[in-house]
A and B are shown apart, each in its own frame.
Chain A
Amino acid sequence: MFKSFLLLTLKSIRYRSLRSWLTILGIVIGIMLVVIIFSLSSGLERAISGLLQSFGSDLIYIFPGKETNPVMSLVGGQKFKVDDLFALEKIPGVKYVMPADVATLTVEFKGEKKSVMVHGAPWSGMRPIFEESQGVKLESGSWPLSEDTNEIVLGNLSAHKNFKSVVRAGDEVTVGSKRMRVAGVLGLIGAQDDDNSFYISLNNFWMLTGSDRVAVTAIVKANPDVNLDLLARQIQFELGKQQAVPDFSVLTPAKTSQLIGSVISLVELFLIVIALISLVVGAVGIMNTMYTSVLERTKQIGIMKAIGASSENVLSLFLMESGIIGLTGGLMGILGGILISFLIGLGAGKLGTQGLFSFASLDFYGFAVILFVTFMTGIFAGLLPARQAAKMEPAEALRYE
């Protein structure tokens, strides 16, 4: 009985294949979104927390703008005076302060020109932060010893991938208008931006960008066994005295990860709401399709009833149809979602962020739940039109053209 009905239903779906596929598509999109969000979110969180750990756990970051709104501060273009920043070294517990700035500059190597991110910071601060706090050593070459020589250090990817030929220690590149010797190439850090950057001393940076003793950000290296939260509050207080940047943030690693975590869960929530809305839209789509398909097939309903189908028979045929549409949509959504997130993970892996794609928060139990939900969505969406179809008298349905 069930098998015969299933065959009948499948034939009817296939007969109207375009309409059936379009309805299925409505469900697919919603489910795909849910699957992508779930399978990428845990990987994303892991990638970000890994990134934060690579920053070093004894570093405090200072940047302009309120911490709740980091984007606005970068747009504002406010910069600290480096003397105000160096003044923070007087606070007990501070080992040293490394002011840093960043700009997009043109770098030329063997006639090939590229616009790249150039970080400026004193070598004396940069070297220990890379080596001690982030655990990254030079892959080749050596750190420049003077702040005033025309020397440059390249991030790992910027040396290996940026230009057609690999840049090696000892090569010469032109940064802006200045010819500089490549002193060294960093090992892989694991963070996109850092690996693709170029590093020069702050003195050279000011010369190239035409700015004078200012920096957009600073990293404070703390002494061992110092309470970072307390230190951050002291820095906040001391730096509050300067006038150049009235709104600024002082972030400890713990606070940063907390902030990023809350941003991620907010984004996740937002995406899930979108996914749910699209699922509801899909359900309305099924309802709409079932409704028109009931109207379209009123005559066939009459025929079936005339040759002995009961109301329950007609009802179950239509419910099976909408259930199958929902189930197929769910299945294709899961497969499509996995495929797309796998591709995103693959793409991110190529760009340097590994392990973005994972099944961690989406196991087979989760898939079963999704399939059940889509099946029930189909059934409920089909219920109203199917019941209307089933209760007609055969002659009434047969008159319908």
Chain B
Amino acid sequence: MEKTEQLLDPVCGMDIYGLPDVRHVTHAGKSYTFCGDGCEHRFKQTPDRFLGEPLIRLENVWKVFDMGDTKTEVLRGINLRIWEGDFTTVIGASGSGKSTLLNMIGLLDRPTSGKVFFRGKDVSDAADVDRATLRSSAFGFVFQQYNLIPWLSALENATLPLIFAKGDTDGVKMLKKFEEIGLKDRVAHRPTQLSGGEQQRTAILRALANNPGVILGDEPTGNLDSKTGNKILEMLIGLNRDEKKTLIIVTHDADIAEKADEIVTVRDGEMLRDHHIHKRTYTEFNV
């Protein structure tokens, strides 16, 4: 598992040691190597941004599912950097490990080996309560299945993170947010009484309840028709564009990938280089 020598792309973070056709850039007297022209281009635009510590950094992350006699290697030594304020999409075929990668980024799962850093701090083996605090304060999750709690109303679902974070809820403030997205008259409804779009918008309000800096979406439009999906996507991209929230979305959808600052392509548990070139290959129409 351990490679003896590494050469990391300072933008996307992947290990490019020994790969052919890498790009070299000299900046402020130092030489940097890139996986492809995408990362090189981004570096050249704002080199100083990529010299510090990224928001999230994965270091040789492996995830192995042990199912008795068979072991499945879902992630195989991922090195990845997510920069604050970026809109990143993770694309790849079904079973490529992209959702597992998102779980690692959002602290929903622990890597089998390797490390996950959040703002330079190793959180992969932090105590459960610390990880819970981080999930509650720094991350907001939006799922493909909406994942609302069936026995709570839309309003109660959206305010649930407040209970876990602060022990109490502010129903009035949340009600206003429901009003803003035009769901005021649906707040008392249970998830089963809401349409998919309404459920997902509720889920987004829930993800934003604690005003986290990072929004994570696991195929958030995957269960919606294209019109509703676009509305949801606009909401999410708006958060990135207007509120400078870091947005990471796992998707099949080429149109979503198109709008991202960074595209991370995963195949067989490994990150591919030349992320920008592959975006067409692994999206909806070509899986």
Contacts and interface: CB of A to CB of B under 8 A. Distances in A.
B188 interface: no
A396 B129 contact: no
Interface residues of A, number: 28
B150 interface: yes
A303 B149 contact: yes
A391 B129 CA distance: 11
Interface in A86-130: none
Interface stretch (B26-34, B89-97, B160-168, B172-180): B160-168
A4 B129 CA distance: 19
B211 interface: no
B108 A306 contact: yes
B149 A306 contact: no
A230 interface: no
A303 B151 contact: no
B200 interface: no
Contacts of A394: 103, 108-109, 135
A306 B128 contact: no
Interface in B198-221: 206-207, 209-210
Contact of B210 (A12, A300, A308): A308
B129 A311 contact: yes
Contacts of A8: 152, 160, 163
B169 A4 contact: yes
Contacts of A5: 163
B151 A313 contact: no
Interface in A304-341: 304-313
A313 B173 CA distance: 24
A15 interface: yes
A310 B168 contact: no
B147 interface: yes
B129 A15 contact: no
Contacts of B164: 304, 307-310, 313
A310 B164 CA distance: 8
A178 interface: no
Interface in A165-214: none
A4 B167 contact: yes
A14 B156 CA distance: 15
Contacts of A305: 108, 132, 135
Contact of A395 (B103, B167, B169, B207): B103
Nearest to A307: B161
A391 to B, nearest CB: 8
Nearest to A312: B129
A1 B132 contact: no
Contact of B128 (A304, A311, A395, A398): A311
Interface string B132-159: 1101110011010001111110001000
B176 to A, nearest CB: 20
Nearest to B206: A307
Interface string A9-27: 0011011100000000000
Contacts of A393: 108-110
A5 B206 CA distance: 17
A314 to B, nearest CB: 9
Contacts of B103: 394-395
B89 to A, nearest CB: 20
A398 B108 contact: yes
A1 B108 contact: no
A303 B103 CA distance: 13
A396 B109 contact: yes
Contacts of A307: 135-136, 140-141, 160-161, 164, 206-207, 209
A72 to B, nearest CB: 61
Given A299-B147, A394-B109, 7 more contacts: A8-B152, A12-B151, A305-B132, A306-B106, A307-B136, A393-B109, A396-B109
16 contacts: A1-B163, A4-B169, A8-B160, A11-B151, A12-B151, A304-B149, A306-B108, A306-B135, A307-B136, A308-B210, A309-B132, A309-B136, A310-B132, A393-B110, A394-B108, A394-B109
- Identify the 8 closest CB pairs spanning chains A and B, nearest first: A308-B136, A1-B167, A15-B151, A310-B132, A395-B109, A395-B108, A395-B103, A394-B108
